[in-house]
């Protein structure tokens, strides 16, 4: 497994692979890998001749009061998991290599970031869009794999591919969960034992919504009220949002008659967690 620490080394590596007519699959991450990340690597491995993993905690996607400085890291463990998953190359760039002094460009999408997480994280998706575009230009992937855990991010990347005419196939990986249903996240490491119990309320509330829909409830407001009071029954929870929305546009729906995305964000103590489910009311 090659380890590339500068963007020029990484770019040369990819150009060499291209000259050899090898295809490249790419999985971008912020590190502190867990089975959710590994599942994306495993999904990507058979799709191309080579598999590139990037580990980069992207400062551009963190707001001023967010956890950029405390974001967990364990590079040794990440490299061991990457090796096991068959990664061909790991890209570990420095921040000043990705964002040199006098960096000026922004990428802003017009409506997808106005919903869900974008409301409480106003610069987040601009930061995601710029770093993913740069990583794509450096790594030259044929395919890139993203998790549905960050559903809004996935939709934004898909839109970016269309808008910027980027010829990269975007593959989605399903949400990987702990045994008790909690969606895996590097941020779960911040949770105390009691907060970990409260964190289960996210997944449980998604199941509660599924049950209500299966019983014929079609009013988002009625379900959201029950989910909110369920979640608020757990200590240290502060609801950010619960939304039933169109899986493509992410706009709120006023009735659950077609497949919808149910997305939620909850703060458990200082840790902000997200989860979601695609729900088809006809099933």
**Nearer residue to ligand AMP within complex by CB, 185 or 198:** 185
Cα distance between residue 94 and residue 128, in whole Å: 16
Residue 45 C-beta: closest distance to ligand AMP, Å: 15
Min CB(32)–ligand AMP separation in Å = 7
Continuous H helices in the chain: 7-19, 35-44, 75-84, 95-98, 117-120, 124-139, 151-163, 193-214, 220-232
- Nearer to ligand AMP by Cβ, of 13 and 62: the residue is 62
Tell the smallest beta-carbon distance from residue 213 to ligand AMP (Å).
23
Q: In this complex, which beta carbon is closest to ligand AMP, that of residue 150 or of residue 217?
A: 150
Give 90 or 223: the residue with its C-beta nearer to ligand AMP. Answer: 90
| Identified catalytic residue from 34, 37, 115, 124 | 37
C-beta separation of 201 from 230 below 8 A = yes
State the nearest-atom distance from the C-beta of 216 to ligand AMP, in Å: 31
Instruction: For ligand AMP, give the closer residue by CB, 72 or 281.
Output: 72
Distances from the Cα of 278 to the Cαs of 164, 183, 239, 258, 283, in angstroms? 27, 14, 20, 11, 11
**At closest approach, how far in Å is the CB of 115 from ligand AMP?**
17
d(CA 169, CA 104): 28
Site residues for ligand AMP per CB under 6 A:
29-30, 36-37, 39-40, 146-147, 149-150, 173, 175-176, 183-186
Buried b (16+ CB within 10 A) or exposed e, 192-217: eeebebbbebbbbbbebbbebbeeee
Does the annotation mark 37 as catalytic? yes
CA end-to-end span of the chain: 44
Instruction: Give the residue numbers marked as catalytic.
Output: 37
């Amino acid at each position: 497994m090659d380890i590339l620490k500068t963007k020029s080394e990484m770019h040369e590596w990819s150009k060499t692979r291209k000259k050899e007519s090898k295809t490249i699959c790419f999985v971008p991450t912020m590190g502190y890998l867990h089975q959710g990340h590994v599942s994306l690597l495993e999904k990507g491995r058979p799709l191309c001749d080579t598999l590139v993993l990037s580990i980069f905690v992207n400062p551009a996607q963190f707001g001023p009061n967010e956890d950029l400085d405390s974001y967990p890291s364990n590079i040794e463990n990440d490299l061991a998991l990457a090796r096991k998953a068959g990664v061909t190359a790991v890209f570990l760039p420095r921040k000043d290599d990705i964002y040199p002094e006098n960096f000026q460009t922004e990428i802003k999408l017009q409506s997808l970031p106005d919903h869900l997480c974008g409301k409480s994280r106003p610069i987040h998706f601009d930061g995601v869009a710029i770093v993913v575009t740069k990583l794509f230009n450096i790594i030259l992937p044929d395919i890139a794999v993203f998790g549905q855990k960050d559903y809004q991010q996935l939709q934004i990347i898909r839109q970016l591919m269309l808008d910027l005419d980027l010829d990269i196939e975007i593959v989605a990986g399903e949400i990987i969960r702990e045994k008790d249903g909690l969606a895996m996240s590097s941020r779960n490491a911040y949770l105390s034992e009691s907060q970990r119990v409260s964190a289960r309320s996210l997944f449980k509330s998604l199941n509660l919504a599924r049950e209500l829909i299966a019983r014929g409830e079609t009013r988002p407001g009625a379900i959201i009220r029950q989910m909110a009071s369920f979640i608020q029954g757990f200590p240290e929870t502060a609801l950010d949002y619960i939304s039933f929305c169109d899986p493509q546009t992410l706009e709120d729906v006023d009735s659950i008659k077609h497949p919808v995305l149910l997305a939620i964000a909850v703060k458990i103590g200082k840790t902000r967690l997200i989860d979601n489910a695609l729900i088809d009311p006809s099933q």
